Structure 1
Amino acid sequence: MQYETAGALGNGERIFITAKLPGYIKVGSDDYIEKYLFLTTSHDGSGSITAAFTPIRIVCQNTLSAALRNSSNTIKIRHTGNAEDRLKEAHKVMGISNKMADELDGLFNQWTKVRITDKDVMKLIQQAMAPSKEVLKSLKTGEELSTVFKNICDNAFMYAMASPTQQTETTKGTLFGAYNAITGYFQNVKEYKDDEAKVKSIIGGTGQLRTQAAFDLCLGYAKSGEEALTLN
């Protein structure tokens, strides 16, 4: 692993490190995704170390992490002074990273072959970005949506349609492009108070919740098409 960045969250009570893993996830012929681990821990040793697998699409520095339905993209590591236990924990981290990389490689390449209309892209964005069941209900019944919510969806849709990174062979008109549009909104469009707020949103906060919702919707769309966007 190659350690690239380190910093503190809050008032310094938690620290983080990003570590680049060897190799890439290759989507299509030339869309490369780097494999990273994002590790956080507390200074006082009271909490476990958290390691999260966070793939990043190189062309737009876009974090594409998501938990698969049968496995998480994070693992808790116990603080231990025993060398053998540490090796076991390290093997767990590398195991989950390799498994996630292999599964996302297959999924993302599959999604580049699934076509999606602009209308369905907007539906997917709206459902992924919905902050509550009430908003989902309004989407189903056609009730008026808040200006704030409409602006969020419009900005994400504009990114989906106009960003140069959305005009490539792997993203233009594809399900992979639709997923990347939502993750890209939180990475490259949304304005944050500061870098710390951005990190907290993308890793464990609102951004991660919304992109996980988008990931799950894309899984459904790949299986059953626009039917996956039908609100019950």
Structure 2
Amino acid sequence: MPANVGEMFYFGEQPWHRLGNKLDQPATMEEALKAGGLDWEVGTVPLATAEEPSSPVPMRVAIVRKDTKPGSQGRVLGVTHTGFRPLQNREGIEIFDSIFGKGERVYHTGGYLGDGEVIWVLARLPKEFNVAKGDTVKTYVLFTNSHNGSIAIDFRLTTVRVVCQNTLSLALKKDTKTVFKHAHQGSYTDLKDEVEIFFKGTLKAADDLREKFKMMLERRFDDDRVKGYVETLFPIPGKPAGAERNSSVMGAYLARVKKVESARKTTLFLARNGKGTELETVKGSLWAALNGVLEYVDHYEPHKHDPFAYALFGSGAMLKRKAFNLAVTNLQP
């Protein structure tokens, strides 16, 4: 996963990562391609060893940006197997727009990471709901694609809690489709039909999410339960064998423990006092505990890499899904 935002645009409040070109209104598809720096194509190039004479590299090709000259930095986006079939940015976003956008101004953010290894657009769905009075959740569909094989072609339901801008992309359960993935192989002829079938299920999935969130709001969660919830999500790592005899190993271990303890402390504070806990019925609920984790990942977690990629695509997104699933488990009697 590339470690930085290359180009992007956004509409609305400035994102937590404070990057991108601000738009005064949501974008159309063509505007999204332009504002997000996405109107370029990729191609495949055979590989050979850098020696004289060179030897061809079997079963591998380089994925390159066609708008970048050979020899230039940022031209090669990745190396994949010869069966990898790129999905062009415009091709993928046209499919996305034909289903979710239909030519309207629905795009709130979009762009690419690194030199273009991963691209994305986020479209607003015509559905929002209140979990509590003054606590609105808006629904979106996120399209991501990679040109280096790091992630599959991906469409997923995403929610944004307005009061704190916490994001959550997840899969609810096997019979509620909130994520659609397609490998970079074979023909994309049927991709539109497959995504359209997925879209029909996303609106039902949004209703299912609303019910889950409301149940979390109603579930009282005392300090001991919040503490157990957070500690489960941030476990203390086991001490490596031989750490007592090796000061460098022990030092690295203690640094990891310190980081986990710091994450626990911050998340506990946010679960009890984070954005939105001042709203009626939110404080002291399982809903507040979940959002404490989401707020930590989106706004507080110190990242070695780009916070946007971390929160929406990387290990931060995985932690948020784990937090949601654990919250659902805590809804059981």
TM-score by length of 1: 0.79
Partner of 2:261: 150
**Match of 1:91, as an amino acid?**
E
**Match of 2:293, as an amino acid?**
I
Query: Residue 113 of structure 2 contacts residue 119 of structure 2 at CA under 8 Å; is this kept in 1?
Result: yes
* Match status 1:221 vs 2:221: no
13-22 vs 162-171, which moves further: 162-171
Which structure has the bigger radius of gyration? 2
* Match status 1:129 vs 2:234: yes
Between the aligned partners of 1:77 and 1:89, the Cα distance in structure 2 is 9
Deviations 1:87-144 (A, max 9, x none): 4123233124213201111100111111000121121011112376x49xxxxxxxx9
Between the aligned partners of 1:205 and 1:86, the Cα distance in structure 2 is 25
Deviations 1:54-88 (A, max 9, x none): 10101111012322232453212477564xx3541
Q: Unaligned stretches of 5+ in structure 1? A: 136-143, 225-232
**Match of 1:40, as an amino acid?**
T
17-26 vs 44-53, which moves further: 44-53
Between the aligned partners of 2:173 and 2:193, the Cα distance in structure 1 is 24
Residue 77 and residue 112 in structure 1: after superposition, are their counterparts in 2 closer, same or farther (change >3 A)?
same
* Match status 1:180 vs 2:291: yes
Query: What percentage of residue pairs aligned between the two structures are identical?
Result: 27
Structure 1 consecutive aligned stretches of length 4 or more whose deviation exceeds 6 Å: 44-47
Structure with the bigger percentage of helix = 1
Structure with the bigger percentage of strand = 2
Between the aligned partners of 1:221 and 1:147, the Cα distance in structure 2 is 27
* Structure 1 segment 36-185 matched on structure 2, within 5 A: 36-43=140-147, 49-70=153-174, 71=176, 73-77=178-182, 82=189, 85-130=190-235, 134=238, 146-185=257-296
Aligned Cα root-mean-square deviation (Å): 2.7
**Partner SS state of residue 6, structure 1:** strand
Between the aligned partners of 1:106 and 1:37, the Cα distance in structure 2 is 19
Residue 48 and residue 212 in structure 1: after superposition, are their counterparts in 2 closer, same or farther (change >3 A)?
closer
Between the aligned partners of 2:177 and 2:265, the Cα distance in structure 1 is 30
Query: Residue 170 of structure 1 contacts residue 177 of structure 1 at CA under 8 Å; is this kept in 2?
Result: no
TM-score by length of 2: 0.57
Say how many residue pairs are matched.
211
Between the aligned partners of 1:46 and 1:208, the Cα distance in structure 2 is 15
**Match of 1:203, as an amino acid?**
L
